[in-house]
Structure 1
Amino acid sequence: MIQKYLIERRSWIILFLFLQFLIIVVSYFDPTIPLMSIVYIVFISMIIFIIFLIIRYNKETNFYKSVETWENNLDLTSISNAESPFEVIIENSVTNQTEWLKQIASHNLMSLEQEKDELLSWIHEVKTPLTAMRLMIDRLDNGTMKSNLIYEWLRIHLLLDQQLHQKRIPFIENDLYIEVTDIKVLITKEIKDLQSWCIQKGIGFDLHTEVKEVLSDAKWLAFIIRQLLTNSIKYSEASDIIIKTYPKNEQTILEVEDFGRGIDPKDLPRIFDKGFTSTAKHQDNAATGMGLYLAKKAAKPLLIKIDVHSKLGVGTTFTLIFPKRNQFLHISGM
């Protein structure tokens, strides 16, 4: 800030130094003016001027220091009060711009809330005819047609479910209810819901649950497992998916292992990024690039860590590492 201040005041400093130099030059060429006295006066003037600069530096830079360290969070309380007329102009301009931005942000937030509510309402409305459609499909006698229709129905159902949870994730902290959850029952239900898709692709499940209960939010945990299962089913064919739960270092581990096409090593760091789809099968229109991203987002407030290990052409293993029980004390009060 000192360097910036000197640069800002360089014209005044140069003018002062020029005048002092001019006085010395005049006294040097004019024998009637005592040179040593003038040099002494100039020396005193320089000292006074330096002291003046130091005092003015602290006084004039307080406002600009506070502006420089301002976090641009629309909170103006951290900015020092303006003193000079120019500082008042800047303060008024920043205040007006901030108030305008607050109004825009408030309007945008209200629009987003309205859009979210309308979309959630639409999703719930769509679920009614979707449920009726499933009942009609179940009454069909043609096995092949019934299987194909159930598969397409399931795709629509999963996309709607994904969209519903995507809109709720920003407010997930308000929706959490941490309780002891029977993870075996939860996994079994998710497998049953995906059964028609698995039959069509010739996929089976091998479930081993050494740990049957975890402390978590059942609804959001089911959503995370659903995304991992659908990802494994989507990229597997005529093979089993192994699901295991076991204890490790006072934590519960859940593994979902498939023997599908695997993930390219260069894609592994990006698979949880929003909208990312495989570079190996980039023309795959069925992939939305949202499932694993949403699973990661939902896992964070649940304090669940998701790891992935994969080998191209061999398969992929997703691992959920649940937190220790005492890690939930600050959000569950248990």
Structure 2
Amino acid sequence: MFMTYLRERRSWILLFLLLQFLVVFIAYIDSAVSIQSALYYVFLSALIFLIFLLIRYQKEVKFYQELEEAEDLPDFSEREQLSPFEGMVAESITHHFEALKKTVSESEHRLDEEKDELLSWIHEVKTPLTALRLMIDRLEDQALKKEMTYEWLRIHLLLDQQLHQKRIPFMENDLYIEQTYLESVIFGEVKTLQSWCIQKGIGFEIDLEYNEVMTDAKWLAFILRQLLTNAVKYSDASDVQIKSEQRDGQMILKIADKGRGIDSRDLPRIFEKGFTSTAHHQDHAATGMGLYLARKAAQPLKIRIDVESAPGKGSTFTLTFPKSNEFVEITGM
């Protein structure tokens, strides 16, 4: 900070040095002025100027250090004395900060209104969607029924994804950690995808050696929904394997499919928002949101999601649940 201050005041320092040089130069060319007296004057002036610089440094730098280190707007009213320029800076910063805070507040209010309107719209759309499902179930044309069910399911999953996307930023207020049975959660999600799986000839091999886990059942269901949807979407006439095990005191859940797999260059990016694929970039059915939302929802639950995949050989997603003592961080107990 001291070097920064010297650079800021270099015009003062240069002016002082120039004046001292002028005094010595006059003493040199004018025999009436003693060179010893001139040098003595320069020494005293330099000493006084150095003390002056140190005093001003302590006073001025304190103000700017407060600005640099402050995480919020400093309370300038508590300062006993501000120089005229410091007062102007403080007044300008306060004015712009208040204006910015007002703008942010208005923007947050608009976003909250838009979020509430969107959530309301999603809930309203679910009513005719439910009625549409009942009408589809009454269709006698089985081919048409399968096609209609598939399109209905796509709309249902997209609405559900959008609903949870809006809730994820506030999901910590909605968490309810309890003993959860994996079997009931998994079978519930498999049942939702049943018609789609029948259409594609996809089955499930479920081997739950360990069935109980401490987590939030609703959000775990959402995470599994994204992974199972991907497994079904990118697989053809094969089985999706779901297996649980314990390793080092942690519950492990694996979901493996035999679909098209993921290119090695895409693996580091599959959890990024909006990323679809470089190998299948023309796939218009992909939104690039499922895996992103799954990982976002897993973070507050302390669930780690890993993936192993190879093109043409399928993908294996591994969910590692936290140890018992890690739930203290989640529940705050």
Q: What residue is the counterpart of 2:73 in the other structure?
A: 76
TM, length-normalised to structure 2: 0.96
Instruction: State the Cα distance separating 1:61 from its structure 2 match.
Output: 1.3
Instruction: State the Cα distance separating 1:9 from its structure 2 match.
Output: 1.5
Instruction: State the Cα distance separating 1:326 from its structure 2 match.
Output: 1.4
Instruction: State the Cα distance separating 1:118 from its structure 2 match.
Output: 0.5
The answer to whether the 8 A contact 1:183-1:214 is kept is yes
Q: Give deviations 1:293-319, integer Å, cap 9, x for gaps.
A: 000000000000000000111010000
Paired amino acid for 1:87 = E
Instruction: State the Cα distance separating 1:78 from its structure 2 match.
Output: 7.3
Between the aligned partners of 1:226 and 1:87, the Cα distance in structure 2 is 58
Q: What residue is the counterpart of 1:137 in the other structure?
A: 136
Instruction: State the Cα distance separating 1:234 from its structure 2 match.
Output: 0.6
Paired amino acid for 2:52 = F
Coordinate RMSD, CA, aligned: 1.4
The answer to whether the 8 A contact 2:259-2:313 is kept is yes
Q: Give deviations 1:23-57, integer Å, cap 9, x for gaps.
A: 12212222222221221121111111112111111
Q: What residue is the counterpart of 1:183 in the other structure?
A: 182
Q: Give deviations 1:215-243, integer Å, cap 9, x for gaps.
A: 00000000000000001111100100000
The answer to whether the 8 A contact 2:133-2:149 is kept is yes
Between the aligned partners of 2:34 and 2:265, the Cα distance in structure 1 is 82
The answer to whether the 8 A contact 1:70-1:78 is kept is no
Q: What residue is the counterpart of 1:35 in the other structure?
A: 35
Corresponding pairs, count: 331
Q: What residue is the counterpart of 1:56 in the other structure?
A: 56
The 1:284/1:78 distance shift into structure 2, 3 A limit, reads: farther
Q: Percent identity?
A: 62
Q: Give deviations 1:155-186, integer Å, cap 9, x for gaps.
A: 11000000000000010011111011111111
Between the aligned partners of 1:57 and 1:262, the Cα distance in structure 2 is 64
**Structure 1: unaligned runs, 5 residues or longer:** none
Secondary structure at the residue paired with 2:74?
Answer: helix
Instruction: State the Cα distance separating 1:333 from its structure 2 match.
Output: 5.7
Q: Does 1:280 align with 2:257?
A: no
Q: What residue is the counterpart of 2:331 in the other structure?
A: 332
Structure 1 residues 323-332 or 302-311, which shifts more?
323-332
Instruction: State the Cα distance separating 1:66 from its structure 2 match.
Output: 2.3
Q: Does 1:4 align with 2:4?
A: yes
The answer to whether the 8 A contact 1:66-1:78 is kept is no
Q: What residue is the counterpart of 2:236 in the other structure?
A: 237
TM, length-normalised to structure 1: 0.96
Q: Give deviations 1:93-118, integer Å, cap 9, x for gaps.
A: 11111101100110011111101111
Between the aligned partners of 1:122 and 1:304, the Cα distance in structure 2 is 31
Between the aligned partners of 1:211 and 1:170, the Cα distance in structure 2 is 31
Over 3 Å off, 4+ runs: 78-82
Paired amino acid for 1:76 = L
The answer to whether the 8 A contact 2:301-2:330 is kept is no
Q: What residue is the counterpart of 2:20 in the other structure?
A: 20
Q: What residue is the counterpart of 1:155 in the other structure?
A: 154
Instruction: State the Cα distance separating 1:130 from its structure 2 match.
Output: 0.6
Q: What residue is the counterpart of 1:173 in the other structure?
A: 172
Q: Give deviations 1:65-92, integer Å, cap 9, x for gaps.
A: 2223344xxx213779471111111111
